[in-house]
Amino acid sequence: MSRAGGVIRSLLEPSLLRRMLLVQVLLVTLLWTAILGFVIAEGRELPELFHNQALYEVAFAATESPADSPQGQEHVLQMMGNALAASFSDGDTGTSFSPIMYVRSDGRLLYKSNPDAPLLRNRQFGVVETLEADGKAWRALSRVSPGGTVVTMALPDTWGLMMTIGTRGYYLGPLVISLPFLLLPAWLSIHLALRPWRKLSHEIEVRAPSNLQPLDFQPRHRELRPLVSSINTLLQRVSEVTQRERTFIADAAHEMRTPLAALRINAEALRQPRDEAARLELLGNLLRSSDRATRMVGQLLKLMRSDAACAAPQAMALEQLVQDRMAVLDALAAQRGVELELLFNEAAPVRICGERESLTSLIDNLVENAIKYSPPQGLVMVQVSKRGEWAQLQVLDSGPGIAAEYREQVFQRFYRIADQPQSGSGLGLSIARSAVERHGGSISLHDGPSGGLRVTVYMPLC
Angle between helices 276-307 and 225-271 (to 10 degrees): 170
What average pLDDT does the structure give for the chain? 77
Answer yes or no: is 55 within a domain.
Answer: yes
Kindly state whether residues 318 and 452 are assigned to the same domain: yes
d(CA 330, CA 359) in angstroms, rounded, equals 18
With cut-offs at 50, 70 and 90, classify the pLDDT of residue 245: confident
Q: 61-65, 431-435, 447-451: which has the minimum mean pLDDT?
A: 61-65
Kindly state whether residues 57 and 117 are assigned to the same domain: yes
Residue 342: its pLDDT value, please?
Answer: 93
Kindly state whether residues 274 and 407 are assigned to the same domain: no
Residue 82: its pLDDT value, please?
Answer: 64
With cut-offs at 50, 70 and 90, classify the pLDDT of residue 78: low
Name 237's Cβ contacts closer than 8 Å, sequence gap at least 6: none
Answer yes or no: is 164 within a domain.
Answer: no
Domain CATH number, residue 280: 1.10.287.130
Residue 163: its pLDDT value, please?
Answer: 46
Classify 214 as helix, strand or coil: coil
Q: Is residue 376 within 8 Å of residue 417, measured between CB atoms?
A: no
Residue 232: its pLDDT value, please?
Answer: 86
Of 308, 330, 356, the residue that ends a domain is 308
Per-residue pLDDT reduced to its tens digit, 220-244: 777 778 888 888 888 888 888 787 7
Nearest to 374 by CA among 343, 412, 329, 407: 329
Kindly state whether residues 336 and 376 are assigned to the same domain: yes
For 392, half-sphere exposure in the C-beta direction (CA atoms, 13 angstrom radius) is 16
Higher pLDDT, 139 or 183: 139
Answer yes or no: is 200 within a domain.
Answer: no
Name 293's Cβ contacts closer than 8 Å, sequence gap at least 6: 256, 259, 260, 263
Task: Say what percent of the chain tops pLDDT 90.
Answer: 11
d(CA 343, CA 382) in angstroms, rounded, equals 6
Residue 28: its pLDDT value, please?
Answer: 77
Residue 443: its pLDDT value, please?
Answer: 92
Q: Is the per-residue pLDDT at 259 higher than 90?
A: no
Domain CATH number, residue 318: 3.30.565.10
With cut-offs at 50, 70 and 90, classify the pLDDT of residue 167: very low
Answer yes or no: is 343 within a domain.
Answer: yes
Answer yes or no: is 181 within a domain.
Answer: yes
Q: Is the per-residue pLDDT at 174 higher than 80?
A: no
Of 275, 308, 341, the residue that ends a domain is 308
Kindly state whether residues 234 and 270 are assigned to the same domain: yes
Per-residue pLDDT reduced to its tens digit, 261-278: 777 777 777 777 777 777
Pairing mode of beta strands 453-460, 390-396? antiparallel
Q: Is residue 24 within 8 Å of residue 182, measured between CB atoms?
A: yes
Q: Is the per-residue pLDDT at 89 higher than 60?
A: no
Q: Is the per-residue pLDDT at 148 higher than 80?
A: yes
Kindly state whether residues 212 and 183 are assigned to the same domain: no
Residue 382: its pLDDT value, please?
Answer: 94
Domain count, the chain: 4
Kindly state whether residues 293 and 318 are assigned to the same domain: no
d(CA 428, CA 402) in angstroms, rounded, equals 14
Q: Is the per-residue pLDDT at 330 higher than 60?
A: yes
With cut-offs at 50, 70 and 90, classify the pLDDT of residue 394: very high
Q: Is residue 315 within 8 Å of residue 462, measured between CB atoms?
A: yes
Q: Is the per-residue pLDDT at 407 higher than 80?
A: yes
Handedness of CA 369, 374, 380, 384 (dihedral sign): negative
Kindly state whether residues 337 and 434 are assigned to the same domain: yes
Residue 390: its pLDDT value, please?
Answer: 93
Answer yes or no: is 162 within a domain.
Answer: no
Residue 20: its pLDDT value, please?
Answer: 72
Q: Is the per-residue pLDDT at 125 higher than 70?
A: yes
Number of Cβ within 10 Å of residue 384's Cβ equals: 23
Residue 35: its pLDDT value, please?
Answer: 74
Q: Is the per-residue pLDDT at 340 higher than 80?
A: yes
Residue 91: its pLDDT value, please?
Answer: 47
Q: Is the per-residue pLDDT at 158 higher than 70?
A: no
With cut-offs at 50, 70 and 90, classify the pLDDT of residue 339: very high
Of 273, 308, 343, the residue that ends a domain is 308
Q: Is residue 211 within 8 Å of residue 242, measured between CB atoms?
A: no
Answer yes or no: is 441 within a domain.
Answer: yes
Kindly state whether residues 213 and 97 are assigned to the same domain: no
Could you tell me the pTM of the whole model?
0.47
Residue 459: its pLDDT value, please?
Answer: 93
Q: Is residue 325 within 8 Å of residue 360, measured between CB atoms?
A: yes
Q: Which residues pair with 460 in a beta bridge?
A: 390
Pairing mode of beta strands 351-354, 108-112? unpaired
Q: Is the per-residue pLDDT at 5 higher than 70?
A: no
Domain span at residue 104? Answer: 46-156
With cut-offs at 50, 70 and 90, classify the pLDDT of residue 171: low
Kindly state whether residues 323 and 247 are assigned to the same domain: no
Per-residue pLDDT reduced to its tens digit, 282-314: 777 777 777 767 766 776 676 666 665 556 788
Kindly state whether residues 447 and 314 are assigned to the same domain: yes
Number of Cβ within 10 Å of residue 450's Cβ equals: 8
Q: Is the per-residue pLDDT at 361 higher than 70?
A: yes
Per-residue pLDDT reduced to its tens digit, 13-41: 666 566 677 777 777 778 777 777 776 66
With cut-offs at 50, 70 and 90, classify the pLDDT of residue 159: very low
Radius of gyration of the CA atoms of the chain, in A: 47
Answer yes or no: is 33 within a domain.
Answer: yes
Q: Is residue 293 within 8 Å of residue 258, measured between CB atoms?
A: no
Kindly state whether residues 32 and 176 are assigned to the same domain: yes
Nearest to 435 by CA among 354, 380, 317, 326: 354
